[in-house]
Structure 1
Amino acid sequence: MAEAQTIGRGEVSIRNLSKSFALNGRDLDVLRGIDLEVVSGQCVAIVGASGSGKTTLLRILAGLEPADGGDVLIDGAPIRGVGSERAVIFQEPRLLPWLTVMGNVAFPLEVRGLAANEAAQRARRYLRLVGLLDFADAYPAQLSGGMAQRVGIARALAVQPELLLLDEPLVALDAMTRMTMQEELARIWAEEHLTMVLVTHDLEEAVYLADRVLILPKHKGSAIRTIEVDLPRPRDRSDSRFVWLRQFLLAEFGLH
């Protein structure tokens, strides 16, 4: 008898995925014939031209959009709406303004049935992880953009997902804060042993964070292109191989 295949934690498998939206009385293909595998523990960045379906793909993985056709599996099981094994970090942290930083991280845990003291204990752990434990009693209006996004990251991690989905999470930040947050995300990913799927327009960010960069096709039905990022961590943005990969991706989009 053949041995059963072992499926890792947070493993993603997408087969022949399609998705369209109605526009002016006709169907507009956003994704067609998409095949994708993400190995447990990897960080994968998804890039592509505007309209290539990056965010739609992420929303399908999150269970926020149904696919029209194909299979979408997490840990070998088909997606049925949102699930506790997945967490999403959006472009805006969407914090509740009437709750403190601690309250924002603990609240989703209490909603899931965790006792208040256990929720607070876990919230403290993840606020410490993102460097904000000293701001536990602050309110969102008192935070900088980078700090608010750190709270959003802590809130997502506190539910202890197997798969972390990130939709342009740093796009609203200034350049220096963004670089710092990229370093923080790389550190957190390594410490938490998560599977991460990141949608980004920032090609340097993709090279800095990802094990693989996936380029969604401009022409619907074409195959996804995969770029392996075989660079040591922590990554050095001035390293010649890093610079070459960034320039290669820029050339792919006609930007260099």
Structure 2
Amino acid sequence: MNLTATRRGEVAIRDLSKSFQISGRRLDVLSQLSLEIRSGECLVIVGASGSGKTTLLRVLAGLETADDGEVLIDGRPVHGVGSERAVIFQEPRLLPWLTVLGNISFGLEVRGEPQAHARETARQYLSLVGLDDFAEAYPRQLSGGMAQRVGIARALAVQPEILLLDEPFGALDAMTKITMQEELSRIWREENVTMVMVTHDIEEAIFLADRVLVLPQVRGGRVKLIDIDLPRPRDRSASAFVRQREVLLREFGLH
């Protein structure tokens, strides 16, 4: 299934700066960041805690306002949230009183889609994430990985140009996380959506990304953009994968 192949989803970040006031002191989180995100690519953002990863994602989502600079999507400035973007958080935040199918169709129905059409679309995305048999289940009956699959299906059902993910697998156990990374990679390829993801997991970044954006640990440090030129599907045990992990570890001073 490829319902989003004709969409664009190009992002331009220009001289973006963002700070916060903490106990009367200004904390600069992002400083004059400029970046082009290509249509259909997967960009993964890594960096130490406090480096601005989630802040950048929230600015892209329209949930935070930058102090200076701008974000353009397909050449149009971003002002607040928009239907061309969907966000997936670490917790799927499903509505407990709705079934799985109801959770996925909810966003479409809120936008005015007839219920029958919304449910038909929801079933397509439920199938995409491999949960056809759980359409009538409730969130309390799902495992963590299954709930996050529903969250992904719900985000994709509204057919965004850009999928923004904030550590979506951070709360999952190691084996479930690997499975979900493989599933997300497959879904991203099939849907041809632009994907921007925040993670603390360097191996996850290498497995998923076309490029990795490394935010500096030190204020005023240099932002780095690293191409991940590995064939897909990716083999975590391959020597090229291991070498790429060593490159990223060196960026963090860990190797």
What is the aligned length?
Answer: 249
Structure 2 counterpart of 1:84, which letter? S
Task: Give the secondary structure class of the aligned counterpart of 2:9.
Answer: coil
**Mapped partners of 1:166, 1:78: distance in 2:** 21
- Counterpart of 2:59 in structure 1 is 60
Shift of 1:158: 0.3
Counterpart of 1:185, as a letter, is: L
TM-score (norm 1): 0.95
- Once residues 89 and 24 of structure 1 are traced to their aligned partners in structure 2, the CA distance between those partners, rounded to angstroms, is 31
Distance in 1, matches of 2:128 and 2:175, equals: 20
Query: After superposition, what is the alpha-carbon deviation per residue over 1:23-53, rounded to whole angstroms, capped at 9, x for unaligned?
Result: 1112111111111110001000000111110
The letter for the 2-side match of 1:209 is L
1:146 aligned residue: 145
What does the per-residue CA deviation read over 1:88-141, in whole Å, with 9 as the maximum and x for residues that have no partner? 000000000010000000111100111100100000000000001110000000
Q: Which runs of 5+ in 2 are unaligned?
A: 1-6
- Which runs of 4 or more aligned residues in structure 1 lie more than 2 Å from their structure 2 counterparts after TM superposition? 218-223
The corresponding residue for 1:224 is 223
- What letter matches 2:234 in structure 1? R
Question: How far apart in 1 are the matches of 2:224 and 2:188?
Answer: 24
Structure 1 residue aligned with 2:14:
15
Q: What are the residue-to-residue correspondences of 1:175-190 with 2, within 5 Å? A: 175-190=174-189
1:31-46 alignment runs, 5 A limit:
31-46=30-45
Distance 1:186 1:208 in 2: 8
1:50-73 per-position Cα deviation (integer Å, ceiling 9, x unaligned):
111000000000000011110111
In the alignment, which residue of structure 2 is the partner of 1:109? Answer: 108
- Specify the alignment match of 1:195 in structure 2: 194
Return the letter of the residue paired with 2:18.
K
Distance in structure 1 (CA, Å) of the matches to 2:111 and 2:79: 18
Give the aligned partner of residue 91 of structure 1.
Answer: 90
Contact 1:12 1:74 in 2 (8 A): yes
Q: Identity percentage over the alignment?
A: 71
Contact 1:109 1:158 in 2 (8 A): yes
How far residue 220 of structure 1 moved from its aligned partner, in angstroms, is 3.2
Which is further off, 79-88 or 222-231? 222-231
- What is the Cα deviation at residue 247 of structure 1? 1.7
Q: Does the 8 Å contact 1:34/1:221 carry over to 2? A: no
Query: Any unmatched runs of 5+ in structure 1?
Result: 1-7
Q: Secondary structure at the match of 1:164?
A: strand
Q: Is the 8 A contact 1:213 1:226 kept in 2?
A: yes
For normalisation by structure 2, the TM-score amounts to 0.96
Which SS does the other structure have where 2:225 is aligned?
Answer: strand
Q: Which residue of 2 aligns with 1:27?
A: 26
Q: What is aligned with 1:71? A: 70
1:219 shift after superposition? 3.1
